[in-house]
Amino acid sequence: MIGLTTGSVYALIALGYTLVYGILQLINFAHGDVFALSGLFASTLIVSLFGLDEKSSVLLILGGLAAVFVIAMIFGAAVNATIELVAYRRLRSAPRLAVLITAVGMSFIVQNISLAVFDVNFRSVPPLISDGNVFAIGGVHYNWQSFFVVLVTAPVLVLLTWLVKSTRQGKAMRATSQDPEASAMMGINVNRTISFTFLLAGGLAGIGAVLFLVEFNIRYDTGFELGLIAFTAAVLGGIGNLTGAVLGAVLIGLIQAFNEGLSWLAPGSDWTRSIVFGLLIAILVFRPEGLLGERTPEGA
């Protein structure tokens, strides 16, 4: 069941990648580092500002976590939108190589900001969610910490799907993704739509960071590895496809859980990265459009 937990976090990060790529055909490599910075910021909120620990009342923990989710979401959104404004907006018409190098550079900049502000040590929070079992199936136990992650992720994904498919802003995002020039001619504010997309992606990173922090510890470079895994999930499902990003994230989470949890026919946790990135290479070679993506002349 841990695969669903990690898969849920990967899904939130992968959706950030796929939203930005769907609009700009840009891989925002700084996205994973925004996730890590948001998680470190959230750890400070939980421990220093709200003073939450295992002795706090249930209402205080739930209220404090709700506030942390909102603040971390706003923080991640603000950081991501700032990156777009400072680094990417002036490169809209630049060659893709220049934008790619800029994205890698922003990743290192955000990572070093996290290191300078929060130092090199791992940050964690007290066990705010009970590790008692919710249910057990065939000897596999599912605890409240894991269930809490899925319980938060599911409505976020439903809300995101509704926003993109049914709202005016979502229609503007889809129109801009298809043809920015034609969208501008039809009265859509392309710059505002792109900024909103970065805000949305950063907000998802903030939510994912808090969920990750509830169960694991985090430091300045955590987002680099998780970001690459989430990127692999987005490519596996079909980069630019929201449903594909979620599917790919769940599959990656299950693969990781099986590899690290099974005692037979599994190489173990030392090989998890090799398996995940080997899968990425295989997808790029044999099906570059991903599981649910559409083959285009560029991706063929």
- For the chain, what is the largest distance between any 2 Cα atoms, rounded to a whole number of angstroms? 60
**CA dist., res. 81 & res. 89, Å (int):** 10
DSSP 96-121: HHHHHHHHHHHHHHHHHHHHHHH-SS
Instruction: Please give the structure tokens belonging to residue 261.
Output: 């949890």
Q: Which residues pair with 137 in a beta bridge?
A: 140
Beta-carbon neighbour count of residue 166 at 10 Å? 9
pLDDT at 116: 95
pLDDT at 168: 92
pLDDT at 296: 55
pLDDT at 140: 65
Are residues 193 and 177 in contact, defined by beta-carbon separation less than 8 angstroms?
no
**CA dist., res. 141 & res. 156, Å (int):** 25
Are residues 219 and 122 in contact, defined by beta-carbon separation less than 8 angstroms?
yes
Q: Is 300 helix (H, G, I), strand (E, B) or coil?
A: coil
pLDDT at 8: 83
**CA dist., res. 33 & res. 268, Å (int):** 27
pLDDT at 255: 84
**CA dist., res. 216 & res. 123, Å (int):** 9
Instruction: Please give the structure tokens belonging to residue 173.
Output: 């995002």
pLDDT at 141: 67
Are residues 53 and 126 in contact, defined by beta-carbon separation less than 8 angstroms?
yes
Instruction: Please give the structure tokens belonging to residue 34.
Output: 């925004």
Are residues 82 and 75 in contact, defined by beta-carbon separation less than 8 angstroms?
no
Angle between helices 190-215 and 144-166 (to 10 degrees): 170
Least Cα distance to 118 among 216, 48, 24 occurs for 48
pLDDT tens over the chain, length 300 residues: 455 667 788 888 999 999 998 888 888 999 999 999 999 999 999 998 888 888 888 899 999 999 999 999 999 999 999 999 999 998 888 888 898 899 999 999 999 999 999 999 999 898 888 777 776 766 666 677 778 888 888 899 899 989 998 999 999 999 998 888 899 998 999 999 999 999 999 999 999 999 999 888 999 999 988 888 888 888 888 887 888 888 888 888 888 878 776 666 667 777 888 888 888 888 888 888 888 876 655 543
**CA dist., res. 192 & res. 129, Å (int):** 38
Q: Tell me the per-residue pLDDT of 197-241, one tens digit each, with 9 for 90 and over.
A: 999 999 999 999 999 998 889 999 999 888 888 888 888 888 878
Q: Tell me the per-residue pLDDT of 62-74, one tens digit each, with 9 for 90 and over.
A: 999 999 999 999 9
pTM of the model: 0.89
Instruction: Please give the structure tokens belonging to residue 153.
Output: 């992720």
Instruction: Please give the structure tokens belonging to residue 120.
Output: 């090199």
Strands (E) in the chain, as ranges, are 133-137, 140-143
pLDDT at 300: 39
Are residues 198 and 84 in contact, defined by beta-carbon separation less than 8 angstroms?
yes
Q: Which helix (H) or strand (E) holds 241?
A: none
